[in-house]
Amino acid sequence: GSSPALSQYGWVVRHAGRWDNDNYDDLAIGAPTNNQAGSEAGRVEIVYGDPSPSSTGDRYATGSTGGDLLGYALDNLGDFTGNNRDDLLIGAPFFAGDGTDAGRAYIYEGGSNSGTVSVLDALPTDPLMPGTQAFDRFGFAVAGTGDFDGDGFADYAVCAPSGNISNNAPAGYCRLWATD
């Protein structure tokens, strides 16, 4: 794959599982300062595994606005959405829709079409949840945690190293979603 100059293509590379549900494993590649959807909006590309892989991404998602840095962090979730294809967890730690650099995280469902983050499922935020305060940088680190709580369902974590929850002192936090 490739990306325009100054994109930081390859900032993070992860196994994407069987994104297109064939017999080959695929790659997810982050380019957080990619400018194709706005200055440093960011981009994630999925490159399908094949004996002769494409030199460009087979699927992609770009940040919603300049400065989001979509693709700064990403990880494989396994088949989180239940469509028999592996899904991705993607961080955009400088997304400003909820406050300056509040951050956002998304799930990109395996097999989905390309486009802006409108094709992604945004993780929920509300005033009591991380990622809504300025400078939290929610999505700076993301991880598929497997079945963390042993209930048979995939779980995941999203971290905000500059965030605070109750004491107005930036101590950082990591939010774990144990799904069922």
The tens digit of pLDDT for each residue in 85-94 reads 899 999 999 9
- In whole angstroms, what is the distance from residue 44 CA to residue 30 CA? 5
- In whole angstroms, what is the distance from residue 159 CA to residue 75 CA? 13
The pLDDT score that the predictor gives to residue 2 is: 54
The closest alpha carbon to 30, from 176, 139, 124, belongs to: 139
Classify 178 as helix, strand or coil: strand
The closest alpha carbon to 130, from 77, 179, 175, belongs to: 175
The pLDDT score that the predictor gives to residue 122 is: 81
C-alpha R_g of the chain: 16
State yes or no: pLDDT of 125 exceeds 80: no
The pLDDT score that the predictor gives to residue 99 is: 87
DSSP states of 41-110: -BEEEEE---SS--SS-SEEEE-SSTT--BTSEEEEEES-SSSSS-EEEEEETT--BTBTT-BEEEEE-T
The pLDDT score that the predictor gives to residue 67 is: 95
State yes or no: pLDDT of 127 exceeds 60: no
β pairing state of 87-92 and 73-78:
antiparallel
Half-sphere exposure of 150 (CA within 13 A, CB side): 0
The tens digit of pLDDT for each residue in 24-79 reads 999 999 999 999 988 999 999 999 999 998 888 899 999 989 999 999 999 999 88
| pTM confidence score | 0.89
The pLDDT score that the predictor gives to residue 131 is: 62
**The tokens of 100 are what?**
């300056």
